[in-house]
Amino acid sequence: MLRRRRFVPGLAGAVMAGAATMASAQDPYGICLARLRRIIAEQLKRQAANVTAATRLREDLGFDDLSMVEFAMAVDNEFDALIEADLAADNWRTVGDAIRELDSKGACRR
């Protein structure tokens, strides 16, 4: 007898799907993405509604070394997640990388 498995998307599912555009209280990854979009919009001084978890920080958004460090510091301030800005600037390639680090620190659920 075959049992049907119910797929419950976790962080990987949310990141791969680009996360939902409308975040609810039940969706910590969507909330995390929405907060990151706000930080990106403030930093770039333009709308960031089209930013998804797959958006590349350097290639798609045009971040340079300084703006990567500033972004990491802004994320640290927003989420109070004790992020080392210089390491994050080197390791984060996409918005999803930032979400994964924030989730590993429990910051997406606060």
3-state secondary structure of 94: strand
The pair of structure tokens assigned to 90 is 């080197």
The pair of structure tokens assigned to 55 is 């958006």
3-state secondary structure of 78: helix
| Catalytic one of 27, 60, 64, 97 | 64
Report the first-to-last Cα separation within the chain, whole angstroms. Answer: 42
Does residue 65 have an active-site annotation?
Answer: no
Look at residues 24, 9, 70 and name the one whose alpha carbon lies nearest to residue 57.
70
3-state secondary structure of 6: coil
* Catalytically annotated residues: 64
